[in-house]
């Protein structure tokens, strides 16, 4: 895509976000990973945010594809899954343009996608790397306070939870939540049988991410 194309997409993004303001979408990607996992997670998070943050997000999130211009309609895009992730050259270029134009991508590892994801992110930002966010980062200090940073929701490999980010011009454009599994905590209670306090922590952290993105 040439510079004119980038400029046009940036204008499209600005126009649509001005209209839609507070909307989120799920990213459908290629590679074989289950991008559709945790189907009740985002609807539950949306309900929680609308009730506690006074947001007005549509109850059912839309699905967007990596290489489509429709991603520019949403200021917040969520990505999850367990396995392989692959971005073509056009997909990587489109997603990078979206992020640099003001968009935000939250990637929640549902377990197993991390090694594939790191490789694909190099296609977007070969000169940048994921860096851990400290507990003093504003994303942990929105309506809900997380003094120790990202909460641990599900145990997988006995590793500590990490919030990793990529910034551009001092703006966090991508958040990767790893070894936490927030999405499992957002799901309906009977899916994972998490205690209420664990689900509450997951929903509160998710609300913080939404609030941070909408206010920045």
pLDDT in tens, 49-107: 999 999 999 999 999 999 999 999 899 999 998 889 999 999 999 999 999 999 999 99
pLDDT tens for each residue of 168-188 = 999 999 999 999 889 999 998
Please state, as a whole number, how many other Cβ atoms lie within 10 Å of the Cβ of residue 90.
Answer: 11
Closest alpha carbon to 93 in 123, 126, 128: 123
Closest alpha carbon to 115 in 79, 82, 151, 157: 82
- pLDDT for residue 55: 94
Give the start-to-end residue ranges of the domains of the chain. Answer: 3-214
Low-confidence winner among 88-102, 113-127, 148-162 (lowest mean pLDDT): 148-162
Q: Provide the CA 96 distance to its chain's centre, in angstroms.
A: 14
**How is 103-130 classified by DSSP, letter by letter?**
-EEEEEE-SS-HHHHHHHHHHH-TT---
Q: What is the CATH number of domain 3-214?
A: 3.40.50.12140
Which two structure tokens, joined as six digits, stand for 12? 């499209």
- pLDDT for residue 12: 53
Global confidence as pTM: 0.90
């Amino acid at each position: 895509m040439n510079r004119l194309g980038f400029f046009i997409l940036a204008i499209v993004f600005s126009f649509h976000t001005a209209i839609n303001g507070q909307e989120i979408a799920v990213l459908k990607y290629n590679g074989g990973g289950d991008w559709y996992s945790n189907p009740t997670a985002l609807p539950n998070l949306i309900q929680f945010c609308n009730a506690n943050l006074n947001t007005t997000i549509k109850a059912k999130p839309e699905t967007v594809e990596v290489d489509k211009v429709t991603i520019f309609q949403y200021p917040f895009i969520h990505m999850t899954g367990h396995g392989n992730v692959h971005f073509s050259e056009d997909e990587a270029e489109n997603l990078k343009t979206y992020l640099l134009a003001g968009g935000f991508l939250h990637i929640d590892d549902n377990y197993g996608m991390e090694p594939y994801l790191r490789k694909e992110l190099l296609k977007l930002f070969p000169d940048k790397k994921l860096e851990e966010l400290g507990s003093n980062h504003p994303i942990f200090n929105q309506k809900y306070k997380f003094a120790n940073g990202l909460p641990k929701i599900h145990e997988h490999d006995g590793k500590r939870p990490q919030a990793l980010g990529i910034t551009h011009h001092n703006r966090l454009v991508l958040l990767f939540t790893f070894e936490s599994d927030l999405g499992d905590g957002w799901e309906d209670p009977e899916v994972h049988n998490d205690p209420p306090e664990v689900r509450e922590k997951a929903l509160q952290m998710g609300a913080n991410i939404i609030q941070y993105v909408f206010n920045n």
